Chain A
Amino acid sequence: MDWINQLNPTMQFAIFSMLKVCVVIFLAVMPIVAYAVLVERKVSAFIQDRVGPNRAAPFFVKYLPVVGPFLVRLGIFHPLADGLKSFLKEDFTPAHVRKVYFWLAPAIAVVPAMLALAVIPFGSTLGAQKMVIADLNVGILYTFGIVSLGVYGLVLAGYASNSKFSFLGGIRSSAQMISYEIAMGMSVIPLFMLVGDLNLSKVIAYQADGAWLVFKQPIAFVIFLVSAFAETNRLPFDLPEAETELVGGYHTEYSSMKFALFFIGEYTAMIAASAMMVVLFFGGWTLPFAGLDQPATTLVMGFAHIGIFVTKMLVLMVVFIWVRWMLPRFRYDQLMDLGWRRFVPLALANIVVTAVVLWALHAK
């Protein structure tokens, strides 16, 4: 490990950043996406009194007594099979599409969601390394900036597909995402008024010192949560892909890996949103006992922090999934009404009230 220490700080930074990116993307995000799909299918099955996927059995399963069949029944191998299927299916490009945008759209759908993860502090420290890919001062602003790019993927897909279903899906998604971005952005302003810094690590530190922000700012949390559903196009706000009306919405014309990319994009966005909520409202990697609220000094503590963070995030993801099988889809006008006429004023009021309270406290 000496050679690392011999490198100049810039090189070190570059190497560790790349390492963190690779680990986060390939060891964390991708498996979570894959298994989130499985959880989604299983949870939906149980909620609907079904069994869920329990068929995929690779060849080696028959050499595993007891465990093998058990894993098969759990559906552990379905995500693998799904992934394989995505690669093997015919990648069909309809004749009537605008090819360049058609190819570009899925990538644009995935990338911003992944970029948003860059500023999330998913742990305290591991050795000398801070467990955040980019510890930006303007973390939250970066996030909002990047997240708002996500809409391009869907809009482009809708436009490039040259199909009325896709087109409607694209239009809906743009309107919906832009609307809720406003509510979402305004909902977090009180948090930063309290914290006094935009750096997400500072937000966590603030919560470690006091109570979690979800208790201090419940209204902000509700607005943020609901907006997160809307931003990720999850039910009850999945109007852009509303199967019952739009076949598949913006991805109607997609197949194979391109379709899978939209899927990955949606679930990554879910991860990003959950992670964001953990950071903003649930104290990030901290727990208010057993000394878990201070930056790690040992490797064990470092891993424990990462574990805490991931667990919190997964719980929120289960909520995302659960809600999907619980609520019916909103009507378009209801969606807009909720965004503009309820949440925006509410968020504004929340800002004002917080400001007044802060002013009152300071004035003392």
Chain B
Amino acid sequence: MSTPATTDIKPAPAAPPPIEKIKIKVDGREIEVPKMMPDWQGKPQPTTMLQACQLAAQEVPHYCYHPKLPIAGNCRMCLVEFGTPAMGPDRKPVLNEDGSSKIAKSVLPYEPGTPRGAIACATPISPGMEIYPNSPATKQMREAVLESLLINHPLDCPICDQAGECKLQEYSVEHGQSQSHFVEAKVHKPKAVDLGPRIVLDDERCILCTRCIRFTKDIAGDDALGIVNRGSYSTIAAWKEGAFDNNYTLNTVDLCPVGALTSKDFRFQMRVWFMKETKSLCTSCGTGCNVIVGSREEKVYRYEPRQNDAVNSTWMCDSGRLNYKWINRDDRLKDVVVRGQKSTWAAALKEISEKLAKAASGSVAVLASARQTNEELYLLSKLAKKLGAVTDSVPRVGEGDKLLVSADKNSNTNGAKLTGIASAEMGSNLKKIADGIRSGAIKTLVVFGEDVTKHGIGADLLAKLETIIVSDILPNATTATAHILLPGCAHAEKRGSFTNVKGRVQKFMKAVEPKGDARSEWEVLHELVHNVTGQNGFSSIEGLFNQMAKEVPAFAGLEWAKLGDTGVTVPI
């Protein structure tokens, strides 16, 4: 990890120059806005009317504009009426009688009575400019644009997956009109086109905003999409049928303001308005992209990226996005099992506590996955310290890419390191544990979230142990040999925090209820730690996190509440 150990993602410039501001009027209200604002790449560019309106809390409807994409200015939805200070022949502003400068509204050059709008997304502001986002002329322009967008639109809403989060629907209701001048037959375009392995395209619904094209070209770096044909027949197409297949294609589904691009995975699964949205994290790699978990009636339906400029901007990869189905799997561990018998938490915890309390120092080994949360790892390390146990986690190295995907496939490698569960060279203690079992020094093995049979502690070694305590989510060879098996929770079923590869500590919330008898591991561990060490902790995740922050030097100064939605970076 070559990232410099700073607390912020971008090194702050030595002395920030004073921000240059200009005064403009939005909807009759004077405000000061910065002259320059960051564009999609974060480079300073002259502030646009759209940004200025946003700063003035005036919404300007837009389709093709996206803060993280290059500006195209092709949908015309953002048209607004505006005016600039009139200049006399002497290049001096013409003044009104009261001394204020006279405003010349923009009009058609050949028809001075007709107001002429400008696309707010691409027009820079100038001092003294006046923007009229609510004027009758602006409203008329919006109505006209929407009418033209709807000319060939199929109005498929009842069968369109986008319905409910469709900008075309929203703007039609808010800014459109219910009537159309258009009486001719609509142009029909291909429907349900197979654009790639994960994407279906409905050409009739496309409003040709080119967000998808710009994303895949400029962000994903895969120039796979384009517009073919002309006029009303223009359609989006992949360079080869079904060849839109990079690992970021599903972001175009989020980007597409209408229901033209839909996810094959989510297609016709559930209407979006039923979805409960929970702020969470993707756990498929060390990046820890921020996501929103969409669930209904205790079933997870989809992940969507959530904006966090310090981590994932507004994107996430397809493999991470689709890696949620295991949460709903039927073979999830649901029962507490003690030596093959279904048991209860109370009985199992009592037994474990007694066993651990009696265990001789050094006779216990703790193997915790670097996919457990910071809090859980912290509690485990506390337990291990008391027991004098050898601890470690399992490293997972895979392939990364330039955009988001990290080579580290553990979601909390840094958490495991900072809490002291993982050894300095993660995985190096595995052999020590195996040897300890072989020699009989280690009699009790505590495993959290790993299949140790795949990591050098085979079934023969497990058979030698007196007690195997395993907590996991899905069944595997290790859970099969466990003497005491504790059903664990998917991250969507509990709260907690992860530390990503760059040291960003981020929290996630609970979306659905745990399956069966499963309980959040931190709750269980909290009880265990209390029973074994006699120290009482906090029985809420907030308290637990704050306590951890006090005791683990790397997290010093952190507080659960201060993590916010997007987390805080700590030095690693």
The answer to whether A and B touch directly, with their CB atoms under 8 angstroms apart, is no
Chain B residues within CB distance 8 Å of chain A: none
Chain A residues within CB distance 8 Å of chain B: none
